[in-house]
Amino acid sequence: MNPVKWLVRILFLLFLSLLSIAADTITLDHFIRDNGTEIVVSSGKVFALGFFSPGRSRNRYVGIWYFQVPEQTVVWVANRDNPIKDNSGNLRIDGRGNLALFHGNQTVPVWSSNTSITGTSNTIAQILDSGNLVLLQNDTRRSVLWQSFDYPTNTLLPFMKLGLSFRTGLNRVITSWKSPDDPGVGNCSYRINPSGFPQLYLYKGSAPLWRTGSWTGRRWSGVPEMTSNYIFNISFVNTVDEVSITYGVRNSSFITRMVTNETGIQQRFTWNREAQHWIGFCAYAETDGGIGCLTWHGDLVDTRTYTDAGQDLYIRVDANDLARDTKKDPFHNKGVLAITIVSAVVLFLILLALLHCLVTRLRRAERRKKRNAFSFTSSSLFEDSLGEKEIDESRRNGDLPFFDLSTIAAATNNFSTDNKLGQGGFGTVYKGVLFNGKEIAVKRLSKHSGQGVQEFKNEIVLIAKLQHRNLDSRLRIIHRDLKASNVLLDAEMNPKISDFGMARIFGGDQIEGDTKRVVGTYGYMSPEYAMHGHFSTKSDVYSFGVLLLEIITGKKNSTYFPDNPSSNLVGHVWDLWEEDKAIETVDSALAKTQKGDEISTSEGTGSVNDVTITMVQAR
């Protein structure tokens, strides 16, 4: 054995030798005082009775503990709810023959066995090797008048009966301590519930935490580990007089106890002599089955399935009821199968629909990503597109400069309204200054644009072609949307045509074309283009003529004329020109010199009007 353990045992035996160890009884002449040395020990030196203080408490209690276990383990407390605050307590037989605990010289006991004793009051109290403290009639019969096993605290010892006596009303219940420092009656209890089929219940307050199940004739139904090889001799009584259970150990040297602690846990502890400490364990073996018969009313609830233990449950029902239920739904199994199949199909379709939605969203996101990257490789609308290869070549050769969005944002002060030059059908045009000081115009496509990404692409493709080194002298451009708002003036008042989103490029000798998609601004479109979709180089000549008329007359193309409400600017000028009154259309501001003198308009302005009317003349 470990030398340290031997030393502990020797010191413990030396401590015991200092105690005033009396016999196993308390009599009228022999009692114990709380002086730290006086105890009563059972004849086999298994249990001791005396005064103690639990945990860190200084309160004094009378209790029973294991005599030969170095770690003081209290299994029963007398005055658990009435502690003595000092060391003046004494335990003796009182004048009526009861075992009583007194505080100092007081005559009223703190605790008493409080049993009715008839005849002589000559009694003795004895502590047994079972841990049971009994009050006996001191005669030849030695009748038991009272015993501590009828009033357990938090510990169930072997051979202690647990249950209810219907004859006397005595209910033996295990109740937890309040805390490790206070052995008072706690909130958890372990007891037999006699209603229906009696079962052991673990309660916290009035709420059940766990139960053993009903008695099968050999064991509790919820404790399959209880077998014929079980370490206990179990006696279960269920009669008209009482319902109780007693656990007796097969080996008397086996030190074990069951404790209900204050946390609501039921544990069994066994003393390990070699290790010299308590071990909490379940000493059970596998069951070999058994036979029992139970009946119940209502629903069958709280059944358990065990992997390595348990018993088969056979249910006996009326044959007629069984046959009737079978005939009632002969296709029951098929119905269940059909429901399962339909449910699986529906679930599969739902998953398929969700997958389709996900794929669709991913494809849309990919298309948006490609549009934002200005992919021009496969546009059916722009048959004259350069293609990705040529644009990449332009990037490499430096003919068409490319800028990152961050560069453009920095140049326009993050598209500030102070840099705004104007706004068209596509969006807003901003003035910008690059890091090298070069001024640029930046067109930002509006998400609310009535036109869209394709026109914006078209303008970029056209600019790319105009900048291409191999196509400088072989292209013709039809703007198709020439108007005042698309003519920009630089600092020196030089005009710059902008907004080529609707422009078309002709190569070689091509001078005209047709389209099913008429785009542009009504009022500036030539009649053949607006009505038939036919456009040519003359289409921009017509639009330029309208622009000149707006300059000469000082009026917009959409101006209202009271004399001819159905006519626009072109029709109004045309009518005056046929009446040889075209001079009347000239803006009065053009009839004055810088000094305010009138000038002759018969030749200069008249010639301009003639040319302009010819440009817009319907063909």
Nearest to 480 by CA among 446, 449, 517: 517
Q: The tokens of 424 are what?
A: 């068209």
Q: Which residue has the tokens 């600017």?
A: 569
| 204 annotated as ligand-binding | no
- Cα angle for residues 281, 219, 47 (degrees, 5° grid): 50
Does 514 qualify as catalytic in the annotation?
no
Q: The tokens of 353 are what?
A: 């629909």
Catalytic site residue from 24, 34, 182, 481? 481
Expressed in angstroms, the distance from the first to the final Cα of the chain is 127
- Strand partners of residue 487: 497
Instruction: Specify the 3-state DSSP secondary structure of 396.
Output: helix
What does the buried/exposed string (b/e) look like for 190-206 if buried means 16 or more CB atoms within 10 Å of the residue's CB? bbbbbeeebbbebbbee
> Which residues, 6 or more positions from 243, have their beta carbon under 8 angstroms from its beta carbon?
163, 164, 166, 192, 194, 198, 237
Interatomic CA distance for residues 339 and 345, integer angstroms: 10
Instruction: Specify the 3-state DSSP secondary structure of 384.
Output: coil
Number of helices (H), then strands (E), belonging to the chain: the values are 10, 34
DSSP 305: -
> Which residues, 6 or more positions from 22, have their beta carbon under 8 angstroms from its beta carbon?
30, 32, 38, 39, 40, 41
Nearest to 484 by CA among 524, 514, 532: 524
The 47-52 sheet, strands edge to edge: 20-22, 38-41, 47-52, 61-66, 74-77
Nearest to 568 by CA among 533, 534, 529, 521: 521
| CA 600 to chain CA mean position, Å | 89
- Cα angle for residues 165, 168, 172 (degrees, 5° grid): 45
**How do 199-204 and 207-211 pair as beta strands?**
antiparallel
- Phi, psi for 406 (deg, rounded to 5): -65, -35
For the packed helices 604-616 and 569-578, what is the interaxial angle rounded to 10 degrees? 120
Q: Where are the beta strands (DSSP E) in 333-474?
A: 420-423, 427-433, 439-445
Interatomic CA distance for residues 285 and 266, integer angstroms: 19
What does the buried/exposed string (b/e) look like for 463-477 if buried means 16 or more CB atoms within 10 Å of the residue's CB? ebbbebeeeeeeeeb
Interatomic CA distance for residues 225 and 487, integer angstroms: 99
Annotated binding site for ATP: 443
Report, as residue numbers or ranges, the catalytic residues. 481
